[in-house]
Structure 1
């Protein structure tokens, strides 16, 4: 498993099963944040094109044999499509007890992972799309058999993707799927609509887009840094009888809050069925 470099420091071998968009993003973030070096990482992928790209761009080792790839791995990250997971688990079944598996496969529960792998040290994580640039939000949980040091390793890896939240109950991952998982799509739609509104009233599209993006970034940071309730901050922007009041009235008439609630509830219902 762990080997020692010239400095005597223990080195960790991280193996990715799947080198698609999210797998590549994790590799990039681990290297950028200096959590791992290229020689610590192996990526196994069936596509020769992906293997060549990952090797060329990041200097990591690549293989087309999952079983061979996981040999002596400390951390195995499952980053494959859900439909390919059963075959992958069957191939790598028989891992050593001290090897840790971290799955980012959508819909794959801890019980299904443990059963499919015949392995108990398993973590299930759900990063969202902004993790691809190191600004993601990841929620994760682990089996009771997963040791504290293994959880610390997983936390270090997931923090390279942005922020992370550990929960003891797996049910919260389905809920988070509807909020932080699908959430970027809601925000992108909101950005798109605001930019279009700016164009509608006469702003050049590039100006409208810059105004909207910075407004959303600044507003989010204000909530985070002040710790104030969003309603209190909204009231600070809303002058009696002013333009903001008129705009908010139209949003309330259109049931903006209700639509968001229904959208998240529908996404959660769908997530539970996956």
Structure 2
């Protein structure tokens, strides 16, 4: 692994990446260079030997690979000059055309909030200048926060921003609706949330590692023709599938529009 710099090292995703690299032994503390708005910290996830850069130029000078983990609106103000470096961007809506101004070999990845627990699915796309060795570095970096796949086209990143990039947003939306229903029917706050957790978190564990079997699971519930089958039929009739598709389409279009600005 090369020397890695993280711009936005204490933000949500940057912090998760730094912690994962160190805790999994993928990078020695002295090979990790960090930069954030608030300045150096005496302790970084329990490691005191990491290096802190004074500014973006200092970080670039000390690294072979630069990870950009800041908000898209902050990109223009970075004035990143990373000629000869591998640049891995976590920013939604900042396309390769804009990233190319930094002079580096560009990779775009889309992690999600599950990076905090090492369970993010973080697919990536690489521009034509990225080498096989670079791809190996990217895969090792992303392994610190979960799993990855390489995408064939940059436009696929917008789709990944909409779906895996949303993290827990849609499960949380479902959990709120379920808890609201339980409270509306007289359940206490505590029990309502426990019931929603059982459905959203506990139930989902049945699909972990075999998500492609979801249609078979739904068919089994329907074949039983019980209470859950009635609920599934009503949800579909009310437009559940169409609502999910519309939500993902809106998120994808927003990512594309951000990239065009």
Residue of structure 1 in register with 2:66 after alignment? 76
Aligned match for 1:118, one of 103, 114, 139 = 103
Per-residue deviation, 1:12 = 2.9
Q: Which moved more, 1:71-80 or 1:216-225?
A: 216-225
Per-residue deviation, 1:238 = 3.2
Residue of structure 1 in register with 2:52 after alignment? 62
Query: TM-score, with normalisation over the residues of structure 2?
Result: 0.87
Deviation per CA, 1:127-160, whole angstroms, max 9, x where unpaired? Answer: 1122122221212111111111110111111121
- Structure 2 matches for 1:86-97, cutoff 5 A? 86-88=76-78, 90=79, 92-93=80-81, 95=83, 97=84
Alpha-carbon contact 1:110-1:142 (below 8 Å) kept: no
Seen in structure 2, the aligned counterparts of structure 1 residues 213 and 31 have a Cα distance that, compared at 3 Å, is farther
Residue of structure 2 in register with 1:41 after alignment? 32
Aligned match for 1:216, one of 200, 203, 210 = 200
Residue of structure 2 in register with 1:194 after alignment? 178
Alpha-carbon contact 2:221-2:229 (below 8 Å) kept: no
Residue of structure 2 in register with 1:3 after alignment? none
Residue of structure 2 in register with 1:171 after alignment? 155
* Separation in structure 2 between the aligned mates of residue 24 and residue 44 of structure 1, nearest angstrom: 11
Residue of structure 2 in register with 1:259 after alignment? 243
Alpha-carbon contact 1:46-1:64 (below 8 Å) kept: no
Seen in structure 2, the aligned counterparts of structure 1 residues 68 and 209 have a Cα distance that, compared at 3 Å, is same
Structure 2 gaps of 5+ residues are none
Number of residue equivalences: 256
Q: Which moved more, 1:175-184 or 1:55-64?
A: 55-64
* Separation in structure 2 between the aligned mates of residue 177 and residue 163 of structure 1, nearest angstrom: 15
Aligned match for 1:106, one of 65, 84, 92 = 92
Seen in structure 2, the aligned counterparts of structure 1 residues 212 and 165 have a Cα distance that, compared at 3 Å, is farther
Alpha-carbon contact 1:15-1:41 (below 8 Å) kept: yes
Alpha-carbon contact 1:55-1:62 (below 8 Å) kept: no
Q: CA RMSD in A?
A: 2.4
* Separation in structure 1 between the aligned mates of residue 35 and residue 185 of structure 2, nearest angstrom: 51
* Separation in structure 1 between the aligned mates of residue 3 and residue 176 of structure 2, nearest angstrom: 42
Query: TM-score, with normalisation over the residues of structure 1?
Result: 0.83
SS in 2 for 1:106: coil
Residue of structure 1 in register with 2:142 after alignment? 158
Structure 1 gaps of 5+ residues are 1-10
Deviation per CA, 1:53-106, whole angstroms, max 9, x where unpaired? Answer: 654743222122211122241211111222221232x3x4253x2x21111122
SS in 2 for 1:216: helix
Alpha-carbon contact 1:125-1:141 (below 8 Å) kept: yes
Structure 1 runs of 4+ aligned residues shifted over 6 Å read none
